[in-house]
Amino acid sequence: MVGFFVSFFYTKEMVDFCFERLFLYHFDMILFFLHGLFFALVKVIEHPSNLWTFTMKIINTLLKQAKNILLVLSIALFSMSSYAGNTLVSVLISGNDCDGDSPFAGQGFADCTINIEGTELAFVLTKFGYDDGTPEGHEEGDHYTYLEEHWDIEENDSEYKSGTWTTPTGAGYPEVSFWSAKAGNSGLNLFWYVTDADYATECDPKLTLSCMSAAVSVTTGTWSTPYNNANSQAALSHLTFFGGVCLQDCGPNTEVPEPSTIVIFAFALGLLRIQSKHRNR
């Protein structure tokens, strides 16, 4: 139970929710501060000699609100760092997944792989079938044993035209590199994440070895079905996931904080230290 709550509060969605609530609760304070700042600037323009007084008031206000500033910055930066620096790539592919045509290979679904330019990148994990929004069970590959608790698939509408998926984090759980959403005769959308840097240098065009080999393993993502000839989004036929099974060092993809992030944290901590010294005097 404790592990469940820890994993729940560690998600980006929960952090975003907390940040939104925090912003709303402090909205009046923000408006009051901006209102005072505007009139203070007017006074400085009218009387430049007031600049020093104005500057000191700003510094004192920052010191008084140091804890709030630190809290807001910490939540904001943590929210941005959850899958920060990753870009979702999607490609429309005609036909079916696991039909033997690139970027798929294999003699059937059970040994289907993501294979581009002769390089195998991931093996099939499982497939979830749907009929007009009704789940029709699953099919698993040769390299993965399906467990219901491994998968949480949510839809945004009754026909399963878009939604999200999540898998737990830990040893023995699947780590997804690619996933596809198939919709009848409309083909399928193939998805994967790459870092922002790789997207800028390796993903033009997208369906290449350089872009697909840059895919990162993730434990959550979004999906949507292709549009049909009538320019209407088609209902989901099945979702297929490709990747591997985590054996060690399991966890979502993370990145080293950028220098700007470190500077902001240092600034916030500095404010908190100055405030502490000021109160002790």
pLDDT band at 9 (very low <50, low <70, confident <90, very high): very low
In the predicted structure, residue 94 carries a pLDDT above the cut 60? yes
Q: Distance between CA atoms of 170 and 235, rounded to whole angstroms?
A: 32
Q: How far is CA 196 from CA 89, 124, 174, in A?
A: 10, 26, 24
Q: Residue 178 — very low, low, confident or very high, per pLDDT cuts 50/70/90?
A: very high
| pLDDT tens digits, 31-53 | 555 666 666 666 667 666 666 77
pLDDT surpasses 80 at 156: yes
Q: Is the peptide bond before 135 cis (omega within 30 degrees of 0)?
A: no
How many CB atoms neighbour CB 89 within 10 A?
20
Quick check: 133 and 160 in contact, CB under 8 A? yes
Percentage of the chain surpassing pLDDT 90? Answer: 32
At 224-241, the pLDDT tens digits run 999 887 788 888 999 999
- Distance between CA atoms of 17 and 222, rounded to whole angstroms? 18
**CA-to-CA distance for 220 and 139, rounded, in angstroms?**
20
CA-CA-CA-CA torsion for 65, 71, 76, 82, nearest 10 degrees? 170
For residue 27, give the amino acid letter.
F
How far apart CA 182 and CA 128 sit, in angstroms, is 10
